[in-house]
Structure formats: structure tokens, C-alpha cells
Structure 1
Amino acid sequence: MNAGTIGARTIGARLHGTPAPGVPRWAVRTGYAITLAVLPSCLWRIGGFILGLPLFEPGPTPPEQDPTSFDGGWAYILALSVVSEALALLCFGLVARWGEVWPRWIPVLGGRPVPVLAAVLPAGLGSAVLMVFPYSMAMFAFGLTLRGDRASGLITHGWQTVAFWVGYLPLAAWGPLLAVLTVHYYRRRRAS
């Protein structure tokens, strides 16, 4: 093992926590994959909406439907990105020690085992909700909204389209990966 591998593991352990005993390597990598799958879309939103990078062109839509003219402005985009990444990091609890035993700093619960259903129910519900991303990406590719109407709004050309897909296509993996980790967590915790 080289120093770079050891350094990466140390950084990963500090950010995500130590993997729980008995968790296979593929599950830990899946946990890391979720956090990395969400990051490009967060960066694309922050770059395009907050920093004003030329990642898209506003389309011909009425002001009340224009995705760039929402009431929350930059605070909404920043909050959406931070919450998205925080939820992705929370998915790592399905393979980390802190997903099995409440961290000591949590009042009353600290040090006690996490009930299996307290992790499985929100994770299962979250994975079900996140399954909309693959569908929405397919609809977007055909220029349609989720309801099947002709989409208007953001327009991308050339490299902007590539940047959009690089940013958002990994997000489609979040729901399926979370479903796999949820089933694995449930089986592993029930078996022990």
C-alpha cells in the first residue's frame, strides 16, 4: 500500500467515519460513490446560477416560470446544493460505524444502537423518491417535462450540454445505489 492510498483512506475516514465491522469493500465504495455522484450537479448549479458561469442560456419562458428567476435566488441554490450533498453523506451511515451506534455527542441517544428501521425506513423512502432522477433525465433528453409537456427553460449548446450531462447524469445513480445499500444494511444488521 502506498502513502497516497493511506492518505486517501485517512481523509475518507475523517469525512465519513470508520466503516462498520463486517461491511464488504464493495458496500463502502458504493457509499463513497453516492457522495461523489451528487457532487457534480451541486457544482454545476453553483457555477451556473450563483457564479454566473455560462453553463446555460435562459430560455423563452414567462418570468413566473423562468428557472433563473426564483424568489430564493442564490441562497436557494446554495441551500439545495448543501442539503443534497449532506443527504448523500448521510447515506454513508449505512456502511459506517455511526450508522449502527449513535455518536456519543448526540444527547440521550449517544452510544446506543441505532434501531434498524430508524435507518432503513428513511433510506428506503429516500431511494424510492430518488428513482425519479433516471426518469427525469430521460424525459429531459427528449426535451420534455416530467408530465410529458414540451420543456422550456434552460437552453444548452455544444459544450454546455456536455457540462450539463456530466453534472447531472451521475445523479441518476443515487436512488439505485441507495437502494442497494439499504437492502445490504437491513440484511447485515438483521443477521447480526
Structure 2
Amino acid sequence: MAVPTSPKAGLAPRPGTASPERMLWRRRWPAWAPTAAALWGALYAAVEITWAATRTTVQWKEHSAYAPGVQLSLAALALLAGAACLAGTRPPAGPGRVAVAAALMVALPLFAVGMSGLPLYFVTLVTLSGVESATGLAQVLLNTAGAVLLLLVGLSYRRRLRGECPRCARPHTGADDGPLVHPAASRAPRRTRGAVYLLMCGLLPWAGVKTVWTLGGNVLGVSAEEWREAIGPGASGPAKAAAAVGIDITVLAALVGIFLLLGLLYVWGQVFPRWTPFLSGRRVPRLLPLVPAWLTGLPLALYGAVLSVMAPLIAVGVLPPVKPVGPFTTAQTTWMVEFGGLAFGGLGLGLVVAARSYGARTHPVCRSALEAPHPELATP
């Protein structure tokens, strides 16, 4: 199916104002991504080896830190992945091709899992609650950068092997760093919107409980006063200010995620609406919503899935109970773990589904692919 060369009436975005040099740099990401990934691998290995040699505590979850052996293993994997990225610039044949693909398939999921703490650090930074571990935050940021670069390299490598343009994934002749043609702005299909709305319902138990407490009510056998006493010592100024008007800071963060979700589903996430000053009518850069959606969606979905599985296993005694805090009993804590799993998992998976739809609906195509279409592109 051919990508439309002009947007629908009333939805035509005005062209951006990016300089030609900047546009050319962005267009050539399949060329510079492997080198950037190799440099990241060297930096990552140097940091991990330094931390392991100096016995620096690098937190990966509460009260747990990376062992030196794990850090050295991650350093070796980062170097291996960087070397594979450089080797993949010219797709080798036979065993070399398998080795490059295997290195990327192993490294990408592992470093993607390592960025699972990104949303939690984001919330603590936004609410001015303080960073619990500076080295832990640095580790998460390094993992995130690596996962993004390895994903870019993996996409371009796979497309080259299939004989497609490494940038637009369409088979065509000519340069792969020329102008792009963007499809018309459109909203997500009804099935996608329904799935995302259903996933968003996972927020209701968590948000409902927190809202009842912030408004002064009792729920799960815990009063608002007991809940405030339990979180009081660690609450930041913004968190206390939000609670004073009946808004829990985690619920507020979820509302930001919902705003991002809606932008991914509807046209105003592709063309700036009228209420955005100075930007009204301009096309929204694809990466502006996609990057935060993927970077928060995947870790949240993974974290939520872990919590959703943990809660029933704790309830039946397969896993040890979570140590209760303040007025909470073990049973109440288990319920909150399950509510958290539904909330984080629902929001995260919703972001993943919406981002996938948004990426497909806004995927641009090299102009040369439309000017000289390949026979395989013809619609039967």
C-alpha cells in the first residue's frame, strides 16, 4: 500500500524549521548508530569495570546492589555488543551473520531489562523526592542509552539483510538519506483504542485507593491519618502539597501517562492543536511522544507483570510476604502490591500498544521509494 504524499484536508501540518544540516544528521541514523553503539559499549565497560574494581555500590533495587562479577559480565557483554554493531555495518555471510544477530538478540533484552527503574527515578526527580542512589540512576541511564542504540542498529541490520532501506524499511533504489514523505494524520483503529482503554482500567484500583486516602477516607482498613503517618517522613514538599488538595503524586504521574496515551491515539498527537501557542498546525516530531512512550512503557509493563505475579504467590505462601510498613498489615500490603501491578502493568502495556500503533501510522517513507516504486510495492 502506498503512503499518501499529501495529508488529508484540514490536517496538513506546516513544515518544520529544522536546518538542513540537522535534518541530514537525523536522516543518516542508520550510518552513525553502529559507531555510537560501539562508543557506548566502550564507555559502559569502562564504568562497570571501575565500579567493580573500587567496590562501588550500584543499587538495582531496594536494599540490593550489583555484585562485582555481574558488573564485569555486563562490561564484557557491552563490548561484545559494540563490536557486533560495527561488524553489522556490512552484513557478513554465514557464521558471521549468525554471530552478529545472536549478540544483538542477547544484549538488547538484557539492557532493556536494566532500564526498568527509569520510571521510578523519573517520578522521584519530578516530585523532588531525592535520588536514592546516584550510581543506580547512572546505571539505569547507561542501560537505557544502550537499549535504544542497540534497537536502532538491530532494525537497520535486519532491514539490510532483507534488502530494504535501513531507514524507511521499503525496498527502493537511490540514497537512503533523502527527504521523507510523512503519511496523513490519523487516529488509531477502533480495536487499538479499545484495547488501550481496557488496559487503562488497571489504574482504577490503585488510583481509587490513593484518592480515597488523600480525600480523608478509609479503605482497606487503613484510615487517611494512618496512611499519612506512614508516608509522612519520606514525602517531599510537592507530594505534600498535592495531597493537601486531594491528589496523590503517583496518581498525578499516572495522569501524565494518560495524556501521553491519548496523544498517541488521536490526531492531536501528530499535528499540534490550536491551543498550543507558536506550534499550532505544525507536525509533531515522531520521536517526541515515541521516545518517552517506549522508555516508560516497556519498564512499567515489565515491573507491573512482576508485581501482578508476586501478589498471588505471596497470598498462597509460595513467596515470603512483603514486610509491612506502618499501619499496613501483610494482607493489606499484598493487596497494594497487586493494585500496583495492575496500575503499572496496565499503563505500561497501554503505552506499548499505543506507541506501536502511533509508530506504524506515522512511519515516513523515503521520497525516492514513491518516485520510483519497487515492483514488490505494487498493490495487488
TM category, shorter: 0.5 to 0.7
Partner of 2:282: 112
Offset of residue 82 of structure 1:
2.5
Q: How many residues align?
A: 163
- Which range moves more in the overlay, 180-189 or 83-92? 83-92
- From 130, 149, 156, give the equivalent of 2:300: 130
Residue in structure 2 matched with residue 33 of structure 1 by the alignment: 198
Deviations 1:142-168 (A, max 9, x none): 459xxx9942223265xx689757854
Show CA shifts across 1:6-60 (max 9, x none).
xxxxxxxxxxxxxx636311112133234433233111112135423131459xx
The within-5 A match list for 1:77-116 is 78-116=248-286
Aligned equivalent of 1:75: 242
1:68 and 1:27, CA in 2 relative to 1: closer, same or farther beyond 3 A?
same
> Which amino acid in structure 1 is aligned with residue 290 of structure 2?
V
| TM-score (normalizing by structure 2) | 0.36
Q: Tell me how far 1:135 sits from its aligned partner.
A: 1.3
Identify unmatched segments of 5+ residues in structure 1: 1-19, 59-63
Aligned CA distance change for structure 1 residues 54 and 104 (closer, same or farther; 3 Å)? closer
TM-score, normalised with respect to structure 1 = 0.66
How far residue 133 of structure 1 moved from its aligned partner, in angstroms, is 1.7
1:187 maps to: 360
Q: Secondary structure at the match of 2:280?
A: coil
SS in 2 for 1:176: helix
1:182/1:191 CA distance change after superposition, 3 Å: same
3-state SS of paired residue (2:274): coil
CA change 1:183–1:100 in 2 (3 A) is same
CA contact (8 A) 1:50 1:74 kept: no
CA distance in 2, matches of 1:86, 1:102: 17
Aligned identity (percent) is: 25
Check 1:108–1:120 CA distance in 2 against 1; reply closer, same or farther (3 A cut): same
Whether the aligned pair in 1 keeps the contact of 2:187 and 2:267 (CA below 8 Å) is no
CA contact 1:31–1:92 (8 Å) conserved in 2: no
Matched, 1:155 2:329: yes
Contact 2:264–2:358 (8 Å) recurs in 1:
yes
Q: CA deviation at 1:81?
A: 1.4
- Which secondary structure does the structure 1 equivalent of 2:202 belong to? helix
- Is the Cα contact below 8 Å between 1:123 and 1:182 reproduced in 2? yes
Rg comparison, structure with higher value: 2
CA gap of 1:49–1:163, structure 2 versus 1, over 3 A, is farther
- Coordinate RMSD, CA, aligned: 3.6
Q: Which runs of 5 or more residues in structure 2 are unaligned?
A: 1-184, 224-228, 366-380
Distance 1:37 1:177, change over 3 A: same
Match of 1:43 in 2: 208
Contact between 2:242 and 2:249, CA under 8 Å: does it hold in 1? yes
Give the distance between the partners of 1:69 and 1:55, measured in 2 at CA.
22
